[in-house]
Chains A and B, each alone.
Chain A
Amino acid sequence: MLDNNSTKAINLTIPRPLMLPILLLAMATASMATTPSIDKKCLYVSSFHEGHEWSDTIENSIREKMKGQCELRKVEMDSENNTSPDEIFKVTNSIIKVIDDWQPDVVITSDDTAAKYLIATHYRDDKTPFVFSGVNGTVDEYGFPFKNVTGIIEVAPIKTMLREAVKISRFGRRAVYLGPDIALEKKNFSRMKLIAEEFKISLEPLYYSSFSQWKRALLKINEYDFAVMGSNADTKNWAFDNELETVLEVIKKPTFTTDISMMPYTAFGFTKLATEQGEWAAEVAIRILNGTPPNEIPMASNKKWEFWVNEDIISRLSTPINRRLLRKAKRLQTAALD
């Protein structure tokens, strides 16, 4: 905090004529010691496409953190569009080709698609270092850790959410999980159900394949004590319409989610932070660029999460909500959704 621009040079004892050369020398030395050469190459592989908020946030965090550390390139697997095995195969091969041709010093991936189809399939114990991020819940299915792979696992605050859900619903233990009918959601449900059992919550799945199915599924929420909203991944044509407005207005039971993108339709949110994923991955990548082998860097999981409320939906609930809880929660704002 000391801003040493006093009228007296109060802490400088080095003769002024020598100050500039020493300063320049020190800066150069520091740069050599701590900063990788700018000719280092880093590749970022996104499982999604540009415009995917989660993935974009991770990318932005990585770019922010690694500014000046290496030349950063980005490739996308666009898993929401490349859903068939052929499409996945083709996009994976194209990325492998980039890696082979460009020879990046480190590859950073985000989310499960890249971890599964690229790292686990093609680069087990390879010479190319990989840093994964945003892998949901566990990496056991991918066989990590490899000698050349480390990263951060994306852990949703499911326990917190379910504990608060029981309190908010006045100790209701009958719950429903609404999720798209995809493998990832089923995996998420399975993991959540195990945790729910710890709280003696009866959690039933209700999968949907379209927006309209989802809206109908919403109408069943009032039959439970509360509902958990899965993601809207792979569900197309999502948008507010009059029907959705009407449906949301009749929901009287509290709803919970760990997916920030579902907050416009959910009363309470307990969400992870994409920035934490990106920042950790970047920190690890920098250490690898600086010479640390990936297997010497332990895998981590995220610690930060956020608590949201949607006041419009809460205002329509039949269950009275503890106001002190509400005073803690973040307000859902339009800006936060953009």
Chain B
Amino acid sequence: MPVTTDNTLKLSALMGAIVIFTIVALLALWVSHSTVTKELSKQALRSTQQINEKLTLVSGTLHSMAAVHQASATGFEPTQFEMFADKLVSNQASITATGRYDVVLYEDLEHLQSDTQLHGVVKFQPTTITDEGIITPLDSKSQYTILIAFFPQDPVSANLIGLDFSELTSTQSAILESISRNAPIPAELPARWLATGQLNLFVPTYYGYQIPDSAEDRSLQTDGGYFITLDLNEIIAQVTGDEFPLSIGISVRSINNDTLLVNQGAGLNEQQIATRFFPSLPIKHHLRIGSESATVVYRTPAGVTQTQLLSAMIKGLIALALFLIGLAIFTAVKISRAETVANKLALAKEREQALVTLNSLQDGVITTDQADIIEFVNPSMLDVLNTNRAALVGLPLEEVLSANFTAENSVASYNDADSSNISSINSIRQLLDNSQETKFFDCHSSAIVDQDNNKIGAILTMRDISKEHALTTKLAHQATHDALTALPNRRKFESLLEKIMLQKEAVASGCFVVGYIDLDQFKLVNDTVGHAAGDALLKKLAIDLESLAPENITIARLGGDEFGFISTKHNGNQCANDDNTTNQKSDGYRPNNQSKNKNTKVATGIARLFHEFFQSYFYQTQDNTFSIRASIGLTTIKPDHSTINDVLTEVDIACYTAKDSGRNGYVIYDAEDVETKQREGEMLYLPMLQTALKNDRFVLYTQPIASTNAGTKNPFHHYECLLRLIDDDGEIVTPYKFIVAAERYDLINDIDRWVIESAFSQIDKLRGTALENTIFSINLSGQSAVDSSMPDFIEEKLTEHNINSSNICFELTETAVISNFAQAQKLIAFARNRGCTIALDDFGAGASSYGYLKNLEVDYLKIDGQFVKEMTSNKVDFEMVRSMNAVGKALGIKTIAEFVESEDIMQELASINVDFAQGYHIGKPAPMADLLDSDRLQYVA
């Protein structure tokens, strides 16, 4: 069905539901409302008649009071009034109070006060009362209309005696109107009157015995009157009782109809929902109270209306529910029929599509019944098995599979925790068919289950993954083998080591040895005959090493010119290569190579095997023959090695030691060996350096460089920045202890950069001081000297700190320059072009090649301190210093002598025209921060 039609149908159903609900609800409400209204109207009429009777009685009572007064020979009698009022209030619950007011002339006031007091009326003065209930005395006036009696009288109401009604607009109007009409008139009393919110009826009395006929005469002859306070709520309560179903309100308006005097009872202001729809309620009746009209209003209480509404809503909802149920049944039947037809068509279509799909699939497909008997085989599967469908259908699946495939790498997956209920199985199988090339298939077997999860069959798909399998195998090999030599790479090497370390018992035998073979001067081959020849050497060497190594030793290429080996097998307590290694001797064994146990024997045997191999190994190219030597470090895997790093660190130290001991030798790691300990000590600085870089634990010291002519007098114009490390104990560590580790583990470049950043930021702070033009020398390591990104870094920091380039001198060691002369020259050229100066440090300590010096553009030559410190007593040293100074001068380079520790040396240097001196005699290294001490700094204008 089209979407729009479907939506239209839903909309129609919704509209229908709303209409039915509304009609039924309104009908129910109307029927309920009309029935209730008729009944309520009858009750309202009866109620009004009863209210009318009571009001008539009250009105008649008031008239009677006036008539008794009129017939009295002496007018108002307080005692008579008290008795009458007492009976009246006690017998008629709706009358809450009554009172007498007299019209009094000023000249009669005093007599009235004394006369009434004699009859029990409280002593009073003419007063008036505000809307707030505050009673205040009145000034003298010619005539008053004074309240002289009030019942029930109590201490509170007694205060009202003396109140002048003529002072109150509402009562005065009512009194005049009552005289005019000679009838009871309702009046509003002050808001704080004793009985607020109730109806007060006033009736006049007159002098004499007869009531004057004309309004004018009545006005002239009135002597006061009586009032009654009526509680309309009480009347309502008497009339209605507890079971009355309506709320009643009685309202009485003032004589000019502009003030609502009383609005007694509940519900006058209610707005009922039902009455909005069916405005037959409220019922209003008009009554006479005295000569005024009162309105009695009846309303359906909220509860009744709500009950009606609720009842109507429920009926509407029931009708709605019935409609919806009918609609739902109709729709369900309709949809069910449509779905049945559609399902059949869809099923047929899907079956056809499935067959076409299965037949056209490249993957092989087999379906089985509940007992795993083959029911269907698609053409692709027949091609794989090279058979026909008839030969397979009816056979057990497992039988066919086992006859044609071998399973491997099976992986099972389950659809729930019940392992017996296997829903699908993945596996890779190899086709057993020798006549064809090796083929692998990814087999996926899934169970077909019914609605109750019972197996009713299975489907097996087989996809030819031969190519993927080959590619995966190749990739796996590449990931673990070196591309150049096809030897296992470092990953495979470390993985193999890890596996061995898990064999704790075997490890304890001491038969497992790990080692590095680091070719000596391999760089020379690359530099001389090119990298291709170097690579060819490596490939050849790999083959030769593998040929050399016993079966139990695995050779790996770890990177560059570094190979690794690891012994991987043993035979119980008898190490695999004991026999052919333990007795071999070699002079290439560098350390304290006294084997102490079997472990060392095995290691020694292996070490000698490789060492001797290299003693006669040559690589010959077309024009050159290279003697290939190697430094070998090895260790025995021990049970106390917890990680492969523990093992490899020992190997690294041993190999480094072998290299450091003059190369072409081997070293077996010995924890007790002094040299080994030293290497280990250096390595201990590695984590400390990393922490220092991370947590800024380095500090810069400066040592002054003074002119040999100026002597040791401050100010100095040249300082060398020196690096210090603060260890965990807060002690200052000199770089001699950690610089080797820094260089070996490639941290020196980061340290140099830290030094540059730190020095520049502090030099920046000297701007405007007497040290503004001071030169600061910064040492750069060999690695930094050949770091191609170093010039950009320096440029960035110079700019960032706005450093005057002439303040900066970079010191490079002779060794650093020589290691990569071309790159070093680039750095020097950059620095000098930028305005910085260059010093060649430790000149004389290394190769001291004047040839290099000749081709280097440096500004300072720092003569190594080993020649300076004893030059006054050692003629050779003196001559060396003089010679180096002379060469520097000849090349136009200023010279700086290091290690100047006495005045004698200073004078000797001056005598041979060495330009500058540096050493403890001039000044010891001190924190650079001291230079920035504001107390010492002299600021220039």
- A residues with CB within 8 A of B: 1-8, 10-11, 273, 275, 304-308, 323-331, 333, 335-336
Contacts and interface: CB of A to CB of B under 8 A. Distances in A.
Contacts of A308: 208
Contact of B48 (A10, A324, A336): A10
B53 to A, nearest CB: 9
Contacts of B750: none
Nearest to B77: A324
B223 interface: yes
B286 interface: yes
A328 B72 contact: yes
B55 A1 contact: yes
Given A1-B55, A7-B284, A327 B75 contact: yes
Contacts of B157: none
A2 B73 CA distance: 35
Contacts of B220: 331, 333, 335-336
A1 B74 contact: no
Nearest to B59: A1
Interface string B100-123: 001000001001100100000000
B154 interface: no
Give the dominant DSSP class at A's interface: mixed
B285 interface: yes
Interface string B46-67: 0011001001100100000000
B371 to A, nearest CB: 89
Given A3-B286, A324-B115, 11 more contacts: A1-B55, A4-B285, A10-B41, A306-B208, A307-B208, A323-B115, A327-B74, A327-B223, A330-B207, A331-B220, A333-B221
Nearest to B116: A324
B76 to A, nearest CB: 8
A326 B221 CA distance: 12
Interface in B31-49: 41, 44-45, 48-49
A6 B284 contact: yes
B263 to A, nearest CB: 18
25 contacts: A1-B55, A1-B287, A1-B289, A2-B48, A4-B285, A5-B286, A6-B48, A6-B284, A8-B44, A8-B45, A10-B44, A10-B48, A11-B45, A273-B210, A275-B213, A304-B209, A304-B210, A305-B210, A323-B108, A326-B108, A327-B74, A327-B76, A328-B73, A330-B221, A333-B217
A326 B44 CA distance: 51
Contacts of B217: 333, 335-336
B661 interface: no
Nearest to A305: B209
B221 A2 contact: no
Contacts of B207: 327-331
Contacts of A329: 207-208
B856 interface: no
B384 interface: no
A325 B72 CA distance: 11
Nearest to B289: A1
Which of A8, A10, A305, A330 has the most B CB atoms < 10 Å from its CB? A8
A329 to B, nearest CB: 6
Contacts of B210: 273, 304-306
Contacts of B52: 1-2
Interface of B: 41, 44-45, 48-49, 52, 55-56, 59, 72-76, 102, 108, 111-112, 115, 206-210, 213, 216-217, 220-221, 223, 283-289, 293
A147 B208 CA distance: 38
Contact of A3 (B56, B75, B206, B288): B288
Nearest to A331: B207
Contacts of A326: 108
Given A328-B72, A328-B207, A6 B286 contact: yes
Contact of B208 (A4, A11, A330): A330
A4 B49 CA distance: 10
A60 to B, nearest CB: 10
Given A7-B283, A323-B108, A335-B217, A328 B208 contact: yes
A308 B212 CA distance: 13
Contact of A2 (B72, B209, B223, B288): B288
Contacts of B223: 327-328
A151 to B, nearest CB: 21
B41 A2 contact: no
B74 A328 contact: yes
Contacts of A330: 206-208, 221
A282 to B, nearest CB: 15
The 5 closest A-B pairs by CB, nearest first: A330-B208, A10-B45, A1-B288, A328-B75, A330-B207
A10 B49 CA distance: 10
B657 to A, nearest CB: 121
A3 B72 CA distance: 34
Which of A5, A323, A327 has the most B CB atoms < 10 Å from its CB? A327
Nearest to A308: B208
Nearest to B60: A1
B393 to A, nearest CB: 94
Contacts of B284: 6-7
B132 to A, nearest CB: 33
A167 to B, nearest CB: 11
A323 B111 contact: yes
A306 B283 contact: no
A335 B56 contact: no
Contacts of A325: 74
B334 to A, nearest CB: 53
A329 B210 CA distance: 10
A324 B72 CA distance: 12
Contacts of B287: 1-3
A324 B283 contact: no
Which of A2, A273, A329, A331 has the most B CB atoms < 10 Å from its CB? A2
A331 B212 CA distance: 12
A262 to B, nearest CB: 17
B206 to A, nearest CB: 8
Contacts of B44: 8, 10
Contacts of A6: 48, 283-286
Contact of B209 (A1, A7, A307, A324): A307
B763 to A, nearest CB: 105
A50 to B, nearest CB: 20
Contacts of B206: 330
A3 B293 contact: yes
A330 B103 CA distance: 13
A188 B472 CA distance: 159
Nearest to A334: B220
A323 B75 CA distance: 11
A10 B285 contact: yes
Nearest to B38: A8
B56 A1 contact: yes
A6 B49 CA distance: 12
A306 B112 CA distance: 23
Contacts of B221: 330-331, 333
Contacts of B112: 323, 327
